[in-house]
Structures are given as structure tokens and as C-alpha cells.
Structure 1
Amino acid sequence: MARLAFALEPAVEDRFLAGLVEAGHTIVARVLGWRDVLDGLDVLAPDVVVVGAAAATLDAELLAACDTRGIRLVALAGSARERAEARRLGLHEVLDADGDPAELEQLVADGPALPSRLSEPERSARASADRPGVVAVWGPAGAPGRTTTAISLASELAAAGHLVALVDADPYGGAIAPVLGLLDEAPGFASACRLAGSGALDRVELERIAQRHSSPRASFDVFTGLVGPSRWPELSHDRVAEALRVMRARFEFVVVDTGFSLERDEELTSDPLSPRRNAATFAALEAADRVVAIGLADPVGLSRLLRGHAELVDLVDPASIDVVVNRVRPSALGIDAHAQVRQTLRRFAGLADATLLPHDGRAADAAILTARTLRDAAPRSPLRAALRGYVDARLLPPPEPRRRAAFAALRRRTAAA
């Protein structure tokens, strides 16, 4: 039986509701507008959304959100004009609002799991080619802001309508669960690695293990980290690599919070088969399509970042590394702190392009205090704006030319009105 969300006119809803309930389906929402459905998709988790084909209940944004989450969208058209509009948007499953209610019940119960958009396979293939699948957030010792950055990246990617997983792969102890107020008695990523080691990790197990961080229009799955540093042998290199490979196939973006250490001295041990403390960090960096290297904007933090960056380029493709400098402030660097940071990076590492994040302790404290993301706790903060700008510029695929043209046409019509 399916979980259904309705956005229909009351008269139309009355005709179809009774038959669906009698057939054993569960009604999780009954609203009047598409925006209400969109805001509740992550919380209600419907299998099928049934909407009217009118503009008040059907919108391209709702289609995109349902496509991203794998939710079927069925429209009931009350006229030929509404049916044509639904088809123009690319909706595949459109029924007559005056038709037989049994037809909708049969479609819900027996219909194939088709994409809502007729062009969805082409769109997905194009998007996957334009975006990084695995994003690893690395930083040297000294709490440069790895966890806060990883959480913010996952939140902004989810808010853009993508299916996102946030992974805590720090072998020295997880921090994502307490920051987001999640239970961490059973480390989710370690469980995923154990299943991956036995070849039993699949979509069903991923959904069972993951914890959902729910937020209006920015929800994502979380695989929590180790509850103590003594459990690091559970995150072996091969297990972590296999777990990330399975997650890459399930999610559009996998954001990984890695450990800080890049030392390989442990390879000198007399037992070549013994587990390695930093194996999870190396596996995550090797699997990453994009590496976010973050450091603090003070003399000590910049020194550590530059030394770590020199080691990082020996492990991954330098073109895949994005340097991010956190907590840029005049109190630690003097006048024109931004220019001093850029000059230091250019002089000692030849880095001409770096993302600088402003010092915004109030926003970061609000997020920690309320166990929320920066996007939810301080949506207008300069720190959140800088992180969102980085996501838009470096992680998200460029918008399609057709959409840009449509937006420009809309602006012209609005200005003319």
C-alpha cells in the first residue's frame, strides 16, 4: 500500500479519497496548494503525490522536488487546457478529474515506477556529468571548521533540490551527530562499512542505517561517526571505499567529513596486515571528486593549511582541491585581512583562487545552540551567504540555457507590468 499526499480542490478530493482509503492506502497530507506539499515532502515522505493540474496545485518546482526524491507525481486535469499545461511541464501521469476513481487507485497500486518527467533520464545523465558526486571536507589539526563546513555544504545542496548524504568518516571520533542533535549510540557510517565489507550494503540497508536531518526544504541523510576513538579499526580502507561507492550510486551528493591527519608513519609497523588509523581519511580523499581544504585565518592556521596542502596535492589531483579559509577577521591579521590571506596563499603556495569565509561567531553559536544548520539558524548571516556562494559557484551544475532564457523572459514581463 502507498502513502499519498493530496493537493486537490475539495470537490475533486471527495470523489477520489474514499476509494483510495478503502483500498488500504494511507493519506499523509491533504492541502490546497503545491507549496504546502513541497514543504512537507521530507517530513511526510509520501510515495505518491496527487495534485490538481491547475497552477495553484502544480508547479515545475514541485515536479523537480518529487523527481529528486523519487516520488511519483500524478495530476488530475479538469480541462484540456490544464492537461496541456501539465504536459508542457513534462508531467507523464495525467488523469481526468471527472474520470473513474478506480482508475487512479489502479494507477497508484499497479502503475510502473516511471519518472515524473518524460525527459528525466537525459536530465539525470547530464546533471551527473556536470557535478562532483563525492565531496570530502579536509582540514589540518586545530578545529578549522571541518564539521560546520560539511554540514553547511550538505544543507545548501539539499536546499537546491538534490538528494544528499552527509558522512562522518573522522577516525578520531564523530562530531556531526552532537552538532545536529542526533542519536549516536550506533555509528551509522561504521555500520555501513561493516555491511560493505561483506557485500551486503544496498539501498535498503542505507535507508535503515541513515538518520534523517529534517529541515524545511533542506533535509538530508546523515551517517553518524564513531562514538569513541577506540573504534577506528572499523573504518578500514577497503570498507570505506566500498561504502562510498555504494552511496555514490544512491545519492546525488555525498559530503564526507574526514579526519585531519595525513601521516603515513604507521606504515612502518612490523605487521603489514594490521589496520591503519588514517586509512578512512585516505580512502575518502581518494574517492572524492572534489576536496575542500579548510584552514583558519590566523598565522598558525594558515601555516598548518599550507603544510597540509603540500601533502594533499601528493594524494589527489590538485585541480580537484578547493582551498577555503575560515574565520577571516582583522583582529587576528590586522587591516585588510582578506588581502593578507590572499597574498599569503599566493606567495607561499601559488594559490590564486581561494574562498574566504568571514568570522561570524554569533551565527555559528546559534547553530550549535539549537542543533540546526546555519541555513536554518542564521539564514541571513554573512557566513551562510559565503558558503552558499561557494556551493553555487563550485559544486552545483550550471543552469541550463533554456531555464536562464525563461527566467530572463519572466523578468522582462514583470518589468513591463
Structure 2
Amino acid sequence: MTVRIALAVPSPHDERLAFEARRHGHDVVVTAVDADDLESALVPARPEVAIVWADERYLSYGVLAECDARGVRVVAAVSNDVERRYATGIGLYDLVDAEAGWDAIATLLPGADAPAPAPHARGTVIAVWGPAGSPGRTTLAIAIAAEIAAAGFTVALADVDTHSASVAPALGLMDEAPGFAAACRLAGADSLDRAELERIGQRHDAGDSSFWVLTGIGQPSRWPELSADRVLATIDECRRWVDYVVLDTASSLESDEEISSDMFAPRRNAATVTALREADHIVAVASADPVGLARFLRAHGDLADVAVTLEITVVANKVRASAIGLGPAAQVTQTLSRFGGIDDPVLVPWDQQAMDAAVLSARTLAEVAPKSAARLAIRRLVADRLLPVGATRRRAVAGSRLWRR
């Protein structure tokens, strides 16, 4: 398969790579001297792949943005650890050693031969949402992912929060190269598949309750990388990757149209809105205190306008008498029913000691406090509301072991 290639590398690597590309039947349509030269040549040359040196002179956010807009796959050539960190820091995972032969580059080109993945049924998407004010969205999303994985299903936890992504620090994972943003970039270039997801994803290893993690953007200014169409394509591919996809979303649901003069401009909340519309089940989290319940009830109507699914489970988190008064469970239930028409919410008691232990050790609640009242409530939520009726651990674990092999 002939591929149209653009080069932006220093001499003498440009001549060597151009010779190797042509020798293997490809067309070198651009040989740029720097990032600006490459960026201006993308439209007339129409390359399919850009091989770029991992240095500020040749690789910039502008180059990445233009390549993403044109569907050009970017491969970064690295010669040392500094360049490798620079490339991964801006979200590139397609890296090749600068001195490597053409065979290493060929594996990253479109049409490269790869083993066909085993067929996978369409996975279930669970979006965890809550209003502003730290009701516990991330904590609950992590706990849900761990409980589903403990039941024997394959799980991917994706941080799609464009305001304050926090899954990575909560689990002690590196977020210099955000996995979900990288997946969105590959999806924009129509290059995302299961192999790529496993390459850019990180594993939270916790025995039987291990799961994949696609970390969120560490810098909020990078939110334009998570456009609606890319997020949609990434979620769709994640469905084919694992049994369950858990999405940790932001709180804001505004669509931004009224504050933008360009109807085609990217929307900061597009990732959250898309995640909620694509979800098969939404877990809506409220903090069980007067302020938290008021915030939730005001925002709940907006959630109903955005959501497509009717499977919405309301979770009252951090239920405690010290913040709501005597009989906190009854008071929270009555408040949600009277002012929001919400019946049968899930109540998660506040366990400060267990939550602090999980944050301190960067582990899940099930790992540090398996008998915690909060953990047991979340486990019942997963078993009763999120997993299919009649799902057995033995059947699920058998499938999971086969998948791991």
C-alpha cells in the first residue's frame, strides 16, 4: 500500500528517511525545514502520515492541530529521553527511535499488517455525573469500575472531564501523556483500534479487580482536543474493547452556543454532553448535605434535557447525620422525592477514614477497606442497578480469563 508521507526532521535524517520511504514504495510529498513549513504544506500536499522530529522546532501544538484537522497521522522520531518526554507530554504515543530501520516505522503506517482482534460484543457505557461542588464523581467512578472488574468483567475507566480531570492522581498514575486525549487524536485520524487503546491505556493492577484507565488532560487548556466527534468515536471504539466503559465526566452541561460567535467552534463541555448522550446508564451523584442537595436538584433538570437513556440512577453520597441531622437516610430520601420527584435513590454513607486511606495509598476503596459501609453500598449499587440481572461471577470470570490470555 502506497502512503503519502511528509517529513520534518533534521539533516541527515531527512535524506535517509526519504530514501527508505521511496525504496519501500511510498511517496514523500513534503520535506519541511521546521514546524511552520510543515503546517503550511499540509493542505496542498495532502499527506497521510507526517514523520516529525520530537523537538520544538519541528513538532508543535499547531502542527498537531492541523494534522488532526486534516486526518494526518503523526509519528514522532525520538533520539533521547528528553525528546521522548516532550512527545508524550503533548499527547503523542506513536514514537519510533530516530536510528531505527524502516521496519519499525512501517508498523505505524496505515494498512500495516496486524493480527485481527478477537470479536467482542458491544460493551456497556456508564457515565458518572454530578453538579459542581465535589459530590464525589471521581471517587464513585473509580469504585464502580473496581466493583465491575471484581465481578469478572473487563472494564475501562476514562476521564473525560475537561475542567478538572482527577482520575490519574487519585490512582497514582502518570498523566503527562493523557490517554483519553491521545485516543481522541487517533480516533480523529481514523486510526483508533483495540491495539492502540491497550498501548496508550494504563492498568490499575488490583488482582481480580484490575481495570484499564484512560487518563484525562492534565492541563485544562487542552480541552479543544476533546471535540464531540472525537469523543463519540473513542467511546464507540471502547465499546468494542471491553465489557464496560465507565466515564468520569465534568459537572457543567452548558452547550456553549450562546457564548460563541462561531457555530463550528469547539465546545468545552462537548466531551461531557457527548458522554452523557452516549451512555447506556447514568449514575447521577449528589452530595448529601443541604448545599449539595440544592445544587443537585437545580442541575437535575438540565441532566434530563441532555440524557438520552432513561436508565438514570441517583446516588446520594456522603450521607451523615453531622451534615443533614438525625435520621439522615430518611431526610435525604424525602428531600429528593419531594423537590425532585426522585424515588429510590442509592444512599452511600460517609466513611472519612476509608476514603482518606484510598486517597493516601492511591488505591480503590475495595482494596483498602473491603468492609467499609461506603464500599458495601457501592457494591450493592453495581450488583443491583448496573450489572445485568442473573449475571454470575463464575461465568464472567471465565470470560475475563479467556480475554486476558
Aligned match of 1:222:
213
Alignment of 1:247 with 2:202, yes or no, is no
Counterpart in the other structure of 1:263: 254
- 1:160-195 Cα deviation digits (max 9, x unpaired): 000100000000132011110011110000000000
Call closer, same or farther: CA 1:270–1:400 in 2, change over 3 Å.
closer
Matched, 1:386 2:360: no
> Shift in Å at residue 318 of structure 1?
6.2
Instruction: Please state how far the C-alpha of 1:265 moved relative to its aligned partner.
Output: 4.0
Correspondence for 2:305 among 284, 309, 314: 314
1:122-141 matches, within 5 Å, as 133-141=124-132
Where 1:233 maps in the other structure, the secondary structure is helix
Counterpart CA distance in 1 for 2:285 and 2:232 is 22
Read off the aligned partner of 1:388 and give its amino acid letter: R
1:266 is displaced (CA, Å) by: 4.3
CA distance in structure 2 between the partners assigned to 1:269 and 1:398 by the alignment:
45
1:148 corresponds in structure 2 to 139
Paired with 1:350 and 1:299, the residues of 2 have a C-alpha distance of 17
Instruction: Call closer, same or farther: CA 1:261–1:333 in 2, change over 3 Å.
Output: same
How far apart are residue 113 of structure 1 and its match? 11
Structure 1 residue runs without a partner (length 5+):
1-111, 116-120, 405-417
Which of the residues 160, 167, 181 maps onto 2:158? 167
- Normalised to the residue count of structure 2, the TM-score between the two structures is 0.66
Q: Does 1:185 align with 2:176?
A: yes
Q: CA deviation at 1:396?
A: 1.1
Matches of 1:224 and 1:321 in 2, distance apart? Answer: 25
* Aligned amino acid, residue 137 of structure 1: V
SS of 1:165's equivalent in the other structure is strand
Is 1:335 paired with 2:326?
Answer: yes
How far did residue 267 of structure 1 move? Answer: 3.9
Tell me, yes or no, if structure 1 residue 285 matches structure 2 residue 276.
yes
Deviations 1:355-405 (A, max 9, x none): 01101010000000001000101111000000000000011112269x99x
How has the CA–CA distance of structure 1 residues 114 and 176 changed in structure 2, closer, same or farther, with 3 Å as cutoff? closer
Moved over 4 A (4+): 112-115
Letter in 2 for 1:192: A
Cα separation, 2, equivalents of 1:400 and 1:195: 34
- d(CA) in 2 for partners of 1:221 and 1:164? 6
Are 1:362 and 2:356 matched, yes or no? no
Residue 295 of structure 1 corresponds to which residue in structure 2? 286
2:343 corresponds, among 341, 347, 352, to 352
The aligned runs of 1:37-56 (5 Å cut-off) are: none
Letter in 1 for 2:234: A
Q: Is the 8 A contact 2:202 2:212 kept in 1?
A: yes
TM-score with structure 1 setting the length: 0.64
1:295 CA displacement? 1.0
- What displacement does 1:308 show? 1.2
**What is the RMSD computed on CA atoms of the aligned residues?**
2.1
Give 2:167's match in structure 1, choosing from 167, 171, 176: 176
Aligned to 2:295: 304
Letter in 1 for 2:376: A
Alignment length (residue pairs): 280
Alpha-carbon deviation of 1:264?
A: 2.7
Instruction: Tell me, in whole angstroms, the C-alpha distance in 1 between the residues paired with 2:297 and 2:117.
Output: 49
Secondary structure of 1:185 counterpart: coil
